[in-house]
């Protein structure tokens, strides 16, 4: 007969006492230090089997026994739990040391961001509109001022824009809402938010005042970001990675900050090279459909790259990824098929 020392906890009471557990085949007998039988039978279950902790034996009357030996494992089949067996398996330990960091790296770099990106098309439009509203509130309170352009000029540019997008064969998922702002530190620039808000600086309107097709090309480029949901995809990827790291390090407060501050998080992101190329292609193809020359987009990039405050512009494009100077983008725009005159 096998015997194990431990502590017996009475059912429905806070009392406990030192006891001796005896096992004979499938029968268990719990005796007090005086030899009194406290429990006897074969109807028992084991508690959580965690390495390094004593496994409790729960009896049918509600009482339970905790052995002094933390390595003791008593079960009906006599086998240790999977966690215990893995803890004692040297090959499993070695593989976990190698594979767990690789798994976390894959989840952070590809797995969760990829899943989040795939779920973006199924998000309700209200999410994008909320992000736009939050972001514009932050920008207007910190970095942007009211436009100095005459209201008549702003209204004329908006009408021309609405007329242009109405001629596109593919409807846009959001009707782009142009917002003119004064941003001295930003220079001639424009950027798009996920819900269709396109912010255009006064400096950009002034810079391209004699190149209306170039300004249209800029707006179409930003509309391409919205149409392909680049902002939401980028935000979803960064949010998923942040949530993973927060769960790993048990900093649950970060989760609420990420969910509530998604608008400000978007400001710190930059579109990838593929996203920029996709938006460029959207703009140049749309120009051709509208009967414009695709080189208008190249004219816009060249004009922006030649502005005096180019260093400031490059700093901002890291955040909003608007129109960095790139010979490759210019050549791609110029190589688009020429516009075909529409029959009258």
Task: Please give the tally of structural domains in the chain.
Answer: 2
At 341 the pLDDT is: 44
Whether 192 and 136 share a structural domain: yes
Q: What is the Cα–Cα distance from 257 to 234, expressed in whole angstroms?
A: 17
Is residue 313 scored above 70 in pLDDT? no
Residue 89 lies in a domain: no
Is residue 213 scored above 80 in pLDDT? yes
Place of tokens 């030192």: 18
For the ranges 84-88, 180-184, 238-242, the one whose mean pLDDT is highest: 180-184
Whether 173 and 320 share a structural domain: yes
Whether 283 and 164 share a structural domain: yes
Predicted TM-score (pTM) of the model is 0.64
Which tokens sit at 117? Answer: 């990106």
Whether 192 and 252 share a structural domain: yes
Q: Which range marks the domain in which residue 46 is found?
A: 2-77
Is residue 320 scored above 50 in pLDDT? no
Q: Which of 209, 136, 128 is nearest to 179 (CA)?
A: 136
Residue 92 lies in a domain: no
Q: Which of 227, 178, 225 is nearest to 199 (CA)?
A: 178
**DSSP secondary structure of 242-286:** HHHHHHHTT-HHHHHHHHHTHHHHHHT----HHHHHHHHHHHHHH
Whether 269 and 183 share a structural domain: yes
Whether 134 and 194 share a structural domain: yes
Mean pLDDT across the chain, nearest whole number? Answer: 80
Whether 18 and 161 share a structural domain: no
Residue 106 lies in a domain: no
Is residue 262 scored above 90 in pLDDT? no
At 344 the pLDDT is: 39
Q: If pLDDT is split at 50, 70 and 90, which confidence band does 336 have?
A: low
Residue 341 lies in a domain: no
At 45 the pLDDT is: 84
Q: If pLDDT is split at 50, 70 and 90, which confidence band does 323 have?
A: very low
At 19 the pLDDT is: 94
Is residue 6 scored above 90 in pLDDT? yes
Residue 115 lies in a domain: no
At 253 the pLDDT is: 57
Whether 140 and 65 share a structural domain: no
Whether 189 and 328 share a structural domain: yes
- DSSP 8-state symbol, 326: -
At 94 the pLDDT is: 80
Comparing 140-154, 167-181, 268-282, the range with the smallest average pLDDT is 268-282
Sheet bearing 190-192, strands edge to edge: 145-146, 177-182, 197-201, 190-192
CA distances from 17 to 10, 36, 49, 56, 172 (A): 8, 12, 23, 15, 75
What's 58's domain CATH number?
2.30.29
User: Torsion angle of alpha carbons 176, 182, 183, 189, nearest 10°?
Assistant: 40
Residue 116 lies in a domain: no
């Amino acid at each position: 007969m096998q015997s194990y020392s431990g502590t017996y906890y009475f059912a429905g009471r806070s009392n406990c006492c030192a006891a001796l557990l005896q096992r004979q085949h499938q029968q268990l007998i719990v005796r007090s230090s005086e030899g009194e039988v406290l429990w006897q039978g074969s109807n028992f279950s084991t508690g959580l089997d965690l390495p390094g902790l004593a496994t409790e034996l729960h009896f049918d009357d509600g009482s339970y026994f905790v052995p002094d030996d933390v390595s003791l494992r008593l079960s009906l089949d006599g086998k240790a739990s999977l966690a215990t067996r893995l803890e004692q398996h040297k090959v499993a330990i070695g593989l976990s040391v190698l594979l767990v960091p690789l798994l976390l790296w894959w989840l952070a770099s590809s797995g969760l961001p990829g899943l989040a990106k795939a779920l973006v098309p199924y998000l309700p439009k209200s999410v994008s509109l909320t992000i736009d509203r939050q972001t514009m509130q932050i920008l207007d309170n910190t970095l942007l001022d009211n436009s100095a352009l005459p209201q008549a000029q702003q209204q004329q540019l908006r009408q021309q824009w609405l007329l242009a997008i109405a001629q596109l064969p593919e409807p846009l998922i959001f009707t782009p809402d142009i917002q003119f702002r004064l941003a001295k530190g930003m220079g001639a620039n424009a950027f798009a938010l996920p819900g269709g808000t396109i912010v255009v600086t006064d400096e950009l309107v002034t810079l391209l005042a004699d190149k209306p097709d170039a300004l249209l090309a800029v707006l179409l480029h930003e509309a391409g970001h919205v149409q392909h949901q680049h902002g939401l995809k980028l935000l979803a990827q960064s949010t998923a990675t942040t949530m993973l790291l927060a769960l790993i390090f048990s900093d649950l407060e970060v989760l609420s900050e990420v969910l509530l501050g998604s608008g400000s998080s978007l400001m710190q992101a930059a579109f990838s090279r593929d996203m920029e190329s996709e938006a460029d292609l959207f703009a140049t193809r749309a120009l051709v459909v509208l009967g414009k020359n695709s080189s208008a987009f190249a004219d816009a990039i060249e004009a922006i790259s030649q502005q005096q405050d180019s260093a400031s512009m490059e700093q901002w494009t890291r955040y909003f990824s608007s129109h960095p100077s790139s010979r490759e983008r210019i050549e791609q725009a110029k190589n688009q098929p020429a516009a075909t005159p529409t029959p009258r």
